Amino acid sequence: MRQLIMSLGLLAVFGLAGCGGTDERPNNDAAHTVSLNAAVGGSFDINDQQEVAEGSVLSATVTPDTGYRINTVTGCGGTLTENTYTTAPITEDCTVEADFKVLIVSMSKINDTGIILCGNYDAENGGQWSSTLNCADTGATENSDGIDADGNVVPAGQDAHYGRDALAAAGSLYKVGGGSAGFDFTRINSDGSEYTGNGDYATNPWSCVRDNVTDLIWEVKAPSNGNVGDNLHDADDLYYRRSTVESNSGSVEPAAPNRATCYGYNSTNSSTFCNTEAFVYRVNVAGLCGANDWRMPKKEELRSIVHYGRDNPSIDSDYFPNTENNGYRSGSIEAYFGILPWIINFDSGSDSLSAPGENFRVRLVRFVP
């Protein structure tokens, strides 16, 4: 009987609580609305209205349209990391807004020359005598002559007035990466990932460079110390021309030993010989920068990284360190005789033909559209 009375009492208590009593437990189901507004030029990867639980965060990927870049993403106390925006813990309704800017890019797949300075004309002596003048300081433009500090004419319409280099000099050229003048390069690690180091090759080296204009990826040479054979990518190593594949040199020559000396050379193993075909093979086996489709560059591909605003070497050394002031072999052969290889000289940026048996440095390339 006593047990029955206690049971009825408990039932009465719980029954009353269910019929008009107050539940004071915290409401863990509270949610807030996060609105996502993308301006013209891009979008978020999720719907523009999201219900987010109290104290939780929301992440969304921001994607610019072709021809645009992300300008700012703000709201809800969040932060932008690359293309991902993550809010602070949500405690109230809030709005995330993304803004985009139009890119100013060259539609050409050819690099500019790197020349951002103007030259004058010495009328008295009938020739040019300076090519290191700031174009804007002289007043020279695409259509109007300028005058330098000594009264000499600075002709209109010079190389520095056109193209990516001119946009870069004016501060209006958007770049994916970095580089001198109109060049746009990105450093790549040996495993193919994007480099995030300090840009000092001596303390934090990289292995490749992506040209964001031409979509070519280039081998970076290892430091020169005057000794050949220290590294597969040694800047001192020389190679002679040989290939059964046109893109790797242009014609067949004997895989003879003792023609040059390079890393891993063994006179009894033809795959170690210092010719272009064997070098391409070794680099692809090694998987430089995570790839195995390396090849010899065509003449104009190799010329595309020449910086004509510099010499000794004529290249952006901040991205291509360890470049020697010498000729680098291309995979192109002149058309008349069909036997003479084209060389690009990185002391001045000039090109020349070489005898078939001459040895030159090599920088390999691959194309990733």
- The 10s digit of each residue's pLDDT in 332-345 is 888 887 888 899 99
pLDDT for residue 19 is more than 50 = no
HSE (side-chain half, CA atoms, 13 Å) at 38: 20
Q: Give the percent of the chain with pLDDT over 70.
A: 83
User: Given this model, what pLDDT does residue 324 score?
Assistant: 94
Q: Which residue has the higher pLDDT, 221 or 367?
A: 221
pLDDT for residue 21 is more than 80 = no
Q: How far apart are CA 205 and CA 235, in angstroms?
A: 14
Give whichever of 66-70, 129-133, 146-150 has the largest mean pLDDT: 146-150
User: Given this model, what pLDDT does residue 256 score?
Assistant: 53
3-state secondary structure of 154: strand
Q: Which residue has the higher pLDDT, 193 or 30?
A: 193
> Taking Cα atoms as reference points, which of 328, 332, 331, 309 lies closest to residue 117?
309
Q: Considering just the CA atoms, what is the radius of gyration of the chain in Å?
A: 32
pLDDT for residue 7 is more than 70 = no
Average pLDDT over residues 86-103: 89
* 369 confidence band (pLDDT: 50, 70, 90): confident
User: Given this model, what pLDDT does residue 123 score?
Assistant: 58
pLDDT for residue 253 is more than 60 = no
Taking only the tens place, the pLDDT of each residue in 168-216 is: 998 999 999 999 999 999 999 999 999 999 999 999 999 999 999 999 9
Give the chain's mean pLDDT.
84
Q: Which residues are CB-neighbours of 99 under 8 A, at least 6 positions away?
A: 39, 41, 70, 71, 72, 73
Instruction: Look up residue 258 and give its two tokens.
Output: 């003792």
Taking only the tens place, the pLDDT of each residue in 214-236 is: 999 999 999 988 777 788 999 99
Q: How far is CA 15 from CA 2, 8, 18, 21, 218, in A?
A: 20, 10, 5, 9, 78
Q: How far apart are CA 249 and CA 236, in angstroms?
A: 20
Residue 272: how many other CB atoms lie within 10 Å: 17
User: Given this model, what pLDDT does residue 162 score?
Assistant: 94
**Stretch among 89-93, 180-184, 245-249, 350-354 having the lowest mean pLDDT:** 245-249
Question: Please, what's the b/e burial string for 287-324 (b: 16 or more CB within 10 A of its CB; e: otherwise)?
Answer: ebbeeeebbbbbbebbbbbbbbbbeebbbbeebbbbbe
**pTM higher than 0.85, yes or no?**
no
Q: Which residue has the higher pLDDT, 22 or 60?
A: 60
* 140 confidence band (pLDDT: 50, 70, 90): very high
User: Given this model, what pLDDT does residue 145 score?
Assistant: 93
User: Given this model, what pLDDT does residue 358 score?
Assistant: 85
Contact 100, 39 (CB under 8 A): yes
Q: How far is CA 225 from CA 157, 228, 237, 322, 325, in A?
A: 43, 8, 11, 10, 14
Q: Which residues are CB-neighbours of 47 under 8 A, at least 6 positions away?
A: 36
pLDDT for residue 271 is more than 90 = no
* 319 confidence band (pLDDT: 50, 70, 90): very high
pLDDT for residue 135 is more than 50 = yes
How deeply is 14 buried, as exposed, middle or buried, from its count of CB atoms within 10 A (0-12, 13-18, 19+)?
exposed
User: Given this model, what pLDDT does residue 9 score?
Assistant: 41
